[in-house]
Structure 1
Amino acid sequence: MNRDTVPAATVGMPTTVGRPVARAAVPADAGGIIALRSELILSEPLDAEWAALCSTRLARRLAPGGDARAYVAEAPDGTLVSCALGLIHPVLPAPAYPRGLAARVHAVATQPEFRRCGLAREVLSALLDRLQADGATLFELHASKEATPLDRELGFAADPALMRMTRLEGVDRRIEAPSGRVLLPPEDYASSVPKSTGSAFVFFTNEHNRPVQLRATYSQAHPWQFPGGTMDHGERPWQTAQRECREETGLAVEGPPCLLASVFGLPGGDWPFSTTGCVFDGGRLTDDQIRSIVLDPDEHDAVRVLPLEEWKPLMPPQDFARLKAVMTARLTGTAAYFDSWDWGNS
C-alpha cells in the first residue's frame, strides 16, 4: 500500500483533466506498475537495474498463462497513476480454498495528486473480483496504516498469528536473467489461450481434373464449398471429413487419408474463433458417381464441375485462392499450407 499520505484538504482530482480510466493491466503496463511500487511503496526505491529486472519478470507473469493479475488507472496522457497488483500461488487444497489457489495483493499505489477520488478502491476491487474469478479464495496483503480502513471494508481482517522473516545470509544477490514462466493449473491456462474450431473437408475432381463443388444454401458470402464441416466432440479430422461427405453427398470415402492442405483462418466479423481445417483428397469421380450425389437441401442445392479458372468469377478471392492451392497440391503431390482464409474477409 502507499507509504505516504497527503492530507485530505490538499489533495483532489486535478480540475484540468478528466478522471483516470481504470482497466485490466497488460504486459506492456509492467514498467509503470513497477515504477509506482518503487516510488510509493518501497522504503528504498529500486535502482534502474532492479527496476528493469522486475518489469521484465512482471511482464512475463502478466502474459496469458502467467500468475500475475493487475488493474491500473490511466491518466488522459497515458500515464499510469494507480495500480493494484496480485500474484496467484498454489497451496494445498482445503475446504476454504478447494482449488488450491491463494492470492497475495503485492502492491496498491496511487499518485498523491490522484488520491481521494476512489481510484484505489476501484482498482483493488476489480483485482479481487478477477482473482476470485480465477479460482483464488484465500487472500492476503500487507496493509499500511492509511489503507487499513479500505482493506477492512473490502473484507480483509488482521491476523495476529501472521509472522514474517527475511533470510539473506548466503544468498547470491546478483541480478539474474528471468527463469521460466510460472505455470497456472491446466484449466486456468486453457481459459487464457485463443480458441479455435476444427474442420475437415474432402476435395473431389472429375476424371478430367476439374474441381467438384457444392453450392451452399447457408452462405451467400461463400457460395461454393467442398463437402465437409466442423468437427464434433471426440472426432479426428479424417473421421469428420468422412462423416460430413457422407451426410452432404451420399458418397463414402474409404481412404487411407491423403492430406492435400491445411487451412487456417483468424476470427473476424461475428465469429469469435479462429479456424483450423484439413482438406483431404477424395480422388476422381466418374460421371456416374457425380450424378449419384444426393444433396441435403438444408445445406446445398447444386453440384457443379468446372475447369479451375472458370471457378474464379463465382467465388470470393480468398475462396478461389484456397481452391487453387488445393488443386496445385493435388497435381504436384505436395501438401499446401493456406493461412489466410480469415473470417469476415471476401
Structure 2
Amino acid sequence: MNTDTTSAATVRPPAVAEPPPVRMATPADAEGIVRLRSSYVLSQPLSEEWIRRCTVRLAPRLAPAGDARCFVVDAADGSLAACALGLIHPVLPAPECPRGLAARVHVVATRPDLRRRGYARAAVGALLDRLQAEHVTLFELHASAEAAPLYRRLGFSSSSALMRMTLLDEPAAPGVPEHGDDLRGTGPGWMPPEQYAETVPKATCFACLYFTDEDDRPLQLRSVYSPAHPWQLVGGTMDPGERPWQTAVRECAEETGLTVTGPPRLLATVYGLPGDEWPYSTIGCVFDGGRLSPAQIDGIVLNPEEHDEVRVLPLPAWQALMPPRDFARLSTVAQARHTGRAAYFDTWDWETTK
C-alpha cells in the first residue's frame, strides 16, 4: 500500500478548494494502474514484460462485466496521480456478507510528488462506496504501518487472524485420478462432481457476429482496452446462464446499438489453447450478422468504454492491421459466409513463451 513516510511537518500541503477529482477507471487505465503498483507498492519494481502481462490481465477485468473496480486521480501530465483498486470475489454467505460478495483492496498508490493532497483517501472512499453499492459488504486489505491510520479512519480494524502463504509450482493434489480412472462410480477413482470439476480444463466462452457492408467488406470495431486484439468482431464473453446466440444479440446491442433477430446462422466454431496471458482455453461461436446498409453502419453507436471506431475494409486490407491469428480467423469466417459451410477454427491460441 501507500508507504509515504514524509513528515507532515516538513511538507506544506497545497490549498485544496475542492475534493480531488476522482473518476472510475476504465480498461484504458490498466497500464497506468499497473505502473503505480510496480513503482510504489511492490518491494521490487516489475520488468516491462511483467507490466505488459499484468496490463493484459487487468484491462478486461476493469470492463463493466469484470470483477475489478478502481478509482483514479489524473495528474496534470496525463499520467495517473493515484489509484485505489479493489477485486471482488465470491464467498460463502454469512451475516456479515449476506450476498456472498467480498472485496480485497489490492492496490492503493500515490505518486510521491503528489502525496498529502487527499488523493488516496478520496480514491479509497470512492472505491468503497462503489463496492457497497454493488452489495459487497466484506472488505479486506494488507496495510503498511504508515498507511494503517488512514484505513482505520475509513472503518477498517486490525486482525491478527490474517495470514498469508505463497506456493509456486505446486504438485498435483493427492487423490486426483489418473486419466482413465472411473469418475462416475464409487470405486477408488470416484470423486464428488464438485471436486472432479476442479480437475478438468476450464474455458471461457464468447459469441460474435460477422457483419459486412453490402459489398461483403468485413466490419470490425477498434478496441480501447486490448492491444493484443486491436480490431474485433461485434461480440463478447458469455454471461452466466446465457446461450451463445443470446450473448451475440446482447453484445451487439451493447456495443453498436443494433438489434439482430435471427434466426441464428453459425459461421464458425473457434477454439484456442490457454497461454501465458490467460490460463483458460477459449471457445466461441461466430454467427452471421448479415449485410448492413450505409445508413445502418452510420447509425452504429459505440460504447466508449470498449471501442472507439467502426471500420469497413476489403478483407485483404485487414491483414496489415491485425495479428496473424486474428486475421486468419477473420478470413476463415469470411470464407464460411461465401461457401455457406460452417468452419472449424482451432488455432486461436493464447501466446506462450514456453
- In 2, distance between residues paired with 1:183 and 1:99? 22
- In 2, distance between residues paired with 1:85 and 1:96? 22
Note the alpha carbon deviations across 1:162-211, whole angstroms, 9 max, x for none: 21111225479xxxxxx859998779xx9xx87959xxxxxxxxxxxxxx
Residue 6 of structure 1 and its aligned partner are, at CA, apart by 2.0
User: 1:82, 1:109 within 8 Å by CA — same for their partners in 2?
Assistant: yes
Matching of residue 71 in structure 1 with residue 71 in structure 2: yes
Q: Identity of paired residues, percent?
A: 54
3-state SS of 1:108 partner: strand
Question: Pairwise mapping of residues 167-182 of structure 1 onto structure 2 (< 5 A)?
Answer: 167-170=167-170, 180=204
Note the alpha carbon deviations across 1:99-155, whole angstroms, 9 max, x for none: 211100001011111111110110000011111112211100001111111101111
Question: Pairwise mapping of residues 324-343 of structure 1 onto structure 2 (< 5 A)?
Answer: 337-338=292-293, 339-340=296-297, 342=299
User: 2:71, 2:85 within 8 Å by CA — same for their partners in 1?
Assistant: yes
User: 2:27, 2:59 within 8 Å by CA — same for their partners in 1?
Assistant: yes
3-state SS of 2:124 partner: helix
User: 2:3, 2:147 within 8 Å by CA — same for their partners in 1?
Assistant: no
- In 2, distance between residues paired with 1:41 and 1:95? 33
Note the alpha carbon deviations across 1:66-100, whole angstroms, 9 max, x for none: 11100111012211010000000111122321221
One-letter identity of the residue aligned with 1:93: P
Match in the other structure for 1:9: 9
Question: Pairwise mapping of residues 151-300 of structure 1 onto structure 2 (< 5 A)?
Answer: 151-170=151-170, 180=204, 274=257, 276=259
Match in the other structure for 1:22: 22
Note the alpha carbon deviations across 1:263-306, whole angstroms, 9 max, x for none: xx96xxxxxxx46377xxxxxxxxxxxxxxxxxxxxxxxxxxxx
- In 2, distance between residues paired with 1:85 and 1:184? 23
Match in the other structure for 1:131: 131
Structure 1 ranges of 4+ moved more than 6 A: 181-187
User: 1:11, 1:115 within 8 Å by CA — same for their partners in 2?
Assistant: no
3-state SS of 2:259 partner: strand
One-letter identity of the residue aligned with 2:152: R
3-state SS of 1:9 partner: coil
Q: Please list every run of 5 or more consecutive structure 1 residues that lacks an aligned counterpart in the other structure.
A: 173-178, 198-264, 267-273, 279-334
Question: Pairwise mapping of residues 315-326 of structure 1 onto structure 2 (< 5 A)?
Answer: none
Match in the other structure for 2:37: 37
Match in the other structure for 1:106: 106
Residue 59 of structure 1 and its aligned partner are, at CA, apart by 0.7
- In 2, distance between residues paired with 1:87 and 1:111? 22
Aligned residue pairs total 203
Question: Pairwise mapping of residues 40-51 of structure 1 onto structure 2 (< 5 A)?
Answer: 40-51=40-51
Cα RMSD between the aligned structures?
3.7
TM-score (norm 2): 0.50
Note the alpha carbon deviations across 1:46-72, whole angstroms, 9 max, x for none: 111111111110111112211110011
User: 1:23, 1:72 within 8 Å by CA — same for their partners in 2?
Assistant: yes
Note the alpha carbon deviations across 1:229-250, whole angstroms, 9 max, x for none: xxxxxxxxxxxxxxxxxxxxxx
- In 2, distance between residues paired with 1:275 and 1:169? 47
3-state SS of 1:144 partner: coil
- In 1, distance between residues paired with 2:11 and 2:55? 29
Match in the other structure for 2:55: 55
User: 2:252, 2:259 within 8 Å by CA — same for their partners in 1?
Assistant: no
Change beyond 3 A, Cα 1:195–1:134 = farther
Change beyond 3 A, Cα 1:184–1:342 = closer
User: 1:70, 1:85 within 8 Å by CA — same for their partners in 2?
Assistant: yes
Match in the other structure for 2:96: 96
- In 1, distance between residues paired with 2:239 and 2:259? 26
Match in the other structure for 1:121: 121
Q: Please list every run of 5 or more consecutive structure 2 residues that lacks an aligned counterpart in the other structure.
A: 173-202, 206-236, 262-289, 302-354
User: 2:102, 2:139 within 8 Å by CA — same for their partners in 1?
Assistant: yes
TM-score (norm 1): 0.51
3-state SS of 1:33 partner: helix
